[in-house]
Amino acid sequence: MSAEGLSSSSDFIRAIITEDVRAGKFGGRVHTRFPPEPNGHLHIGHAKSMCLNFGVAEEFHGLCNLRFDDTNPTTEHMDYVRSIQEDVRWLGFDWGDRLFYASDYFEQLYQYAVKLIRKGKAYVDSLSAEEIRAFRGTLTEPGKESPYRTRSIEENLDLFARMRAGEFPDGAHVLRAKIDMASPNINLRDPTLYRIRHVSHYRTGAAWCIYPTYDFAHPLSDSIEGITHSLCTLEFEDHRPLYDWILDECEVACHSRQIEFARLNLSYTVMSKRKLIQLVDGGYVRGWDDPRLPTLKGLRRRGYTPEAIRAFCDRIGVAKRDSIIEMAQLEHAIREDLNQRAPRAMAVLRPLRLVIENYPEDRVEELEAVNNPEDPKMGVRPIPFSRVLYIEQDDFREVPPPKFFRLSPGKEVRLRYAYIVKCVDVIKDPHTGNPVEVRCTYDPETRSGLPQANRKVKATIHWVSAAHAVPAEIRLYGPLFTKANPAEDDDKDFLKWLNPRSLEIVNSARIEPRLAQAQPGSRYQFERLGYFFVDPDSTDERVVFNQTVALRDAWAKIEKSPNK
């Protein structure tokens, strides 16, 4: 059973919203938002958030906004907002005409700050950053009040206006909420609302030199947009009292409800923006769209479909406990999707010559291959067959281990969509002893479609015709890290768990001829190998495939098993 129907599975957030709607809160309205900061690229953790926010909105007949949370001009760029919009659309979500920016609210936010000052609920502090930190106290000791905390409202108003006017250098003053320096919740010890930053903002340019912090801007942005349920991750849980304080003290019309859920972690990878940046900037991967990365751009280039990612997100659920989802869960989602829609093809990664001794030298047959056994509508295609073929090196063993069903001396296998062949001889490299050519005979009565074709053999292997196949580059991927949770012990040291074999480039591959025209962005199943995505690096001369995911491999398990 697949995704549809399961997507509306209940979780604690949907339960809360259902109850709110039932109780008539917000007039029964449901309005969410997806609020990325344009300082990095989206990853699959954001996909979880989007599926939740857009999904909830749709299920409750509400709306979901796309809002750029761009209150920190030092790290944010227009390039990121473009990239993020592209990724959101690619995943299949639509914000309609509700594209917003926190920076659009700067004037309103400023007026709210003035309101707070007038109410005596905010003040301009002139302590240095270090002093503020020292005054904040510790987890177990209360903080001390700033000597500037008692400034008059008039002085605060004047100073704040002059902060805006650019009269002070960075760091000279900040605007702080006046809450409680002794609060056991450190977020309530007079949090900073505004800081001075003489830098140009990618959208507002030089219009401002003071910028609101997240804690101030976020609840108010939610309120301005009429957001009813503000869904965020667990680390904001103890900001919620501050979120509510801001909305209460600003006396807004719409007081959104913040609900926190656990962020997504995936095994054998990292998800934090900081770590992803380290991987990209450090050159450990080839860029933000490196197929080994859990970024949306990386997954897309790896060959993941939006449908598979959404099905995955639906299935993993939403809860509050920290967890690490096994990569197998994601891989299952893409296999399930691609099994239905990816056309099949024949490709040999590590070729071994196979010569059919009793097949005429100059003969070429066009055999018929099914494009997708899961979907007859996808039709058939011709594939050329001739005397000299390539098969996979792994499909031949001179001395077959137990349970090895493939080709070995004296044994028969079926060549997919062709004939049954029998191995009659092996030619080996005189130096290495490795097989370099397998000599076979074929049974002409066993061609696919013929009555004798039904003869049972233990295995069917794939092949390409040596004279017709074309070379290709195939990129194989393994986990980026060798440790399930590379961030576990030491944040800085996660790089030591990098998998040196996360990328393997196979240049020896031979693919069936029609694949020479494969279009970048298209997906295929290479029979018996896995799903592959045509990389944008492909040229007219050479197609480049990324392995999306391997097929499940029962033989590999048997071979690995200690007691086979």
Partner RNA sequence: UGGGGGAUCGUCUAGGGGUAAGACAUCAGACUUUGGAUCUGAGAACCCAGGUUCGAUUCCUGGUCCCCCAGCCA
Alpha-carbon torsion (405, 474, 495, 319), positive or negative: negative
How many angstroms separate the Cα of 403 from the Cα of each of 4, 393, 457, 461, 558?
Answer: 39, 17, 14, 15, 8
Looking at the Cβ atoms of 167 and 553, the one nearer to RNA is 553
Q: Which of 273, 286, 341, 422 is catalytic?
A: 273
Is 196 strand, coil or helix?
Answer: strand
DSSP symbols for 486-527: TTSS-SGGGGGGB-TTSEEEE---EE-GGGGGPPTT-EEEET
Q: How far is the CB of 407 from RNA (least distance, A)?
A: 10
Nearer residue to RNA within complex by CB, 192 or 482? 192
450 token code pair: 């013929």
Residue closer to RNA (CB basis): 129 or 536: 129
Does residue 263 carry a catalytic annotation? Answer: yes
CB of 210 to RNA, least distance (A): 10
User: Minimum Å distance from CB 426 to RNA?
Assistant: 18
Q: Which is nearer to RNA, 403 or 542 (CB)?
A: 403
CB 67 within 8 Å of CB 200: no
82 is catalytic: no
Helix-, strand-, coil-residue percentages of the chain, each rounded to 5: 35, 25, 45
Give the shortest CB-117-to-RNA separation in angstroms: 17
Taking the complex as a whole, how short is the minimal distance between the CB of residue 96 and RNA, in angstroms?
22
Which CB atom, from 29 or from 151, has the smaller least distance to RNA? 151
∠ CA 149-151-155, rounded to 5°: 140
Are the C-beta atoms of residues 293 and 546 closer than 8 Å to each other? no
The neighbouring-strand residues paired with 140 are none
Using only C-alpha atoms, what is the Rg of the chain? 31
Q: Which is nearer to RNA, 107 or 235 (CB)?
A: 235
Active site residue 377: no
Of 136, 263, 353, 439, the catalytic one is 263
DSSP conformation letters of 63-122: EEEEEE----TTT--HHHHHHHHHHHHHHT---TT-EEEGGGGHHHHHHHHHHHHHTTSE
- 33, 37, 151, 301: which is the annotated catalytic residue? 37
To RNA, the closest distance from the beta carbon of 322 in angstroms equals 5
CA–centroid distance for 211 within its chain: 31
| Residues noted as catalytic | 37, 263, 273
